[in-house]
Structure 1
């Protein structure tokens, strides 16, 4: 925060989210991944009751376009107003070449009117893209559409039950415009540590010669330790850079990998339950879509007030991690 306003002046103009396909219960996935196991015990362990898996034939482009249309509608903008489109996902999108963002732009009838780019920073990807979009808006390139689409169901199988029982599909989008007054990012702090990149992996088929499956490379205990340390450092640094304490934060939107880890992160951060928008129990672990889905639900709930401050913190494979504080304008 500077004497004249936020570190990065910007404004969230609208948001949208989509949960594709039917809701799949933990009892259903338990029967396939852990035959004979009590599904209630698995619900207790993961904190996940349902997740959505997209129907066959669903593409990243179609799912992302649906979420982006909702965000544009709520922002009161036509797609043609966009000057930049950033597509985020953890799994490579529909194609490695060209960027999936091109197909999204085509679905929105954007032909030569803006740049369309893909971005992948694992579960921290939304914050990374939001930082890029905010800096674009602050320097005159706006509005910017940021859309996350995650189709984890493409990369799961019961034979690898650790991933099979927790991941779900989702898409979420925000439209970023220029800030007014004191609204914008009061801080944005993002980091990566490649030495820890083996925690969660999804290899290219060219490297393995096999179907790409999400795999956990270390124990749950190790993942929890790495994630907790990264989130705590991210929150602490983002708050310090914003010159705020946790008590001065109105809403906290952390990445939600599973219910048990979310509970641990909330305790370690010292966050009151009323400041959270919990979604993991309903949608499972949805990668980079976790934070924007909870942000969209907060935005549409009517509970967000002008001048309030939102702390977003994430951690993902890479290991990627970071935090940012967004100060809402007087008319959110």
Structure 2
């Protein structure tokens, strides 16, 4: 297997940054009580700004495929690469625009790329790492000389009042269950992509992909972050397609995004255990790691992760952490690619530096890590 390199990065964030006091103008107002819960959530997640692909009146010119397509076009322009050299496209998202076809087909159509091989990866945040590993392996195996991995999200469209009013989940005081309300004030929109080639860029920075590790622990956990199902009287999740009608599924709240925060916290030790496994295997050396790019949905979760890592004696010093969630929001499957793009453009990278990326996913407990080495001027 030959090495694979990230040779270019790009992103697409729709509209201007939206401050906390403007959020309700975009996702809509349910009740004063709901907005009070939102302010509490914002204190926990620490996010100050985010981007929305939706207008305050609920309309939009965007789709998740268009967001990803814009990121791909920006990526190609930035790299100055002949489109015909790109043979593989892997896409990642939490929720596609349509049930069928896959997102990769829509992004291919939006990107202007020629006929090519595709892969549509759908999970939650870790789908980005699935796409990256898929693209990197295609290049490393010699199947294609150049590939693109892109992650995109359009979460705000699911947070408008129309998705909640008239459903069984709306409570008398105009609030939602906490597992639904939390995500309204946490998730946002955008896309980012990486170009992976079989050689480093002749000028500027590249990232050699040294390894990628992704493990599911769905054998130990029930679904934590869900969309497309509702719990019945017995507490079991019933997929929307097994309700008597789409209307009944909607009334039951099956199309609402939910996250069981208590279950999320039970996953933290498992995610940390994966980190320690990689330290034991010699893949991660905390002391030799120059940059740690960790995706997390809230600052409070970061604090818990720091506590666990410190107790375990494998803490990467916080001055080596790189984060952009506070000003760009939690963009799910696009988050780690946004971080990589921002770090590549920060002017802070030097040849030989070691980068560790970490993407925990609460969907049904996935933990993904990647190790990269910074290369300069075709090194």
Distance 1:194 1:231 in 2: 13
Provide the rounded CA distance (Å) in 2 between the counterparts of 1:206 and 1:39. Answer: 31
Aligned-residue offset at 1:122: 1.6
> Which residue of 222, 232, 237 corresponds with 2:263?
222
Match in the other structure for 1:167:
187
Cα distance in 1 for residues equivalent to 2:285 and 2:265: 25
Q: Distance in 2 between matches of 1:108 and 1:187?
A: 28
TM-score (norm 1): 0.87
- Which deviates further from its counterpart, 320-329 or 143-152? 320-329
- 1:149 maps to 152
Which residue, out of 284, 290, 305, partners 2:350?
305
d(CA) in 2 for partners of 1:265 and 1:251?
Answer: 16
**Contact 1:83/1:143 (8 A) holds in 2:** yes
Q: 1:163 to 1:41 in 2, by over 3 A?
A: closer
Is the aligned partner of 1:86 residue 2:90? yes
Cα pair 2:158 2:256 within 8 Å, conserved: yes
Give the CA deviation at 1:63. Answer: 0.5
* SS of structure 2 residue aligned to 1:187: strand
Task: Tell me by how many angstroms 1:207 deviates.
Answer: 4.2
| TM-score, length-scaled by structure 2 | 0.77
Q: Quote the Cα distance in structure 1 between the aligned partners of 2:8 and 2:51.
A: 24
Matches within 5 A, 1:1-332: 9-29=3-23, 32=29, 35=32, 37=36, 41-55=40-54, 56-91=60-95, 93-112=96-115, 114-140=116-142, 141-157=144-160, 159=176, 160-179=180-199, 184-195=208-219, 196-203=221-228, 205-207=240-242, 209-210=249-250, 212-216=255-259, 218=260, 220-226=261-267, 228-269=268-309, 270-316=315-361, 317-331=363-377
Unaligned runs of 5+ in 1: 1-6
Q: 1:179: Cα distance to partner?
A: 4.5
Per mean C-alpha deviation after superposition, the further-off stretch among 263-272 and 130-139 is: 263-272
Deviations 1:66-102 (A, max 9, x none): 11122222322133321000111011x1223222212
**Displaced runs of 4 or more, over 6 A:** none
Unaligned runs of 5+ in 2: 55-59, 162-175, 201-205, 230-239, 244-248, 310-314
Determine the C-alpha separation between the residues in 2 that align with 1:136 and 1:279: 29
Paired residues in the alignment total 320
Distance, in Å, in 1 between the alignment partners of 2:257 and 2:76 is 32
Could you give the per-residue CA deviations for residues 233-254 of structure 1, whole angstroms, max 9, x where no partner exists? 2322334444442010111111
Q: 1:233 to 1:201 in 2, by over 3 A?
A: same
| Conservation of the 8 A alpha-carbon contact between 1:187 and 1:239 | no
Q: Is the 8 A contact 2:147 2:195 kept in 1?
A: yes
2: CA distance between counterparts of 1:271 and 1:33? Answer: 41
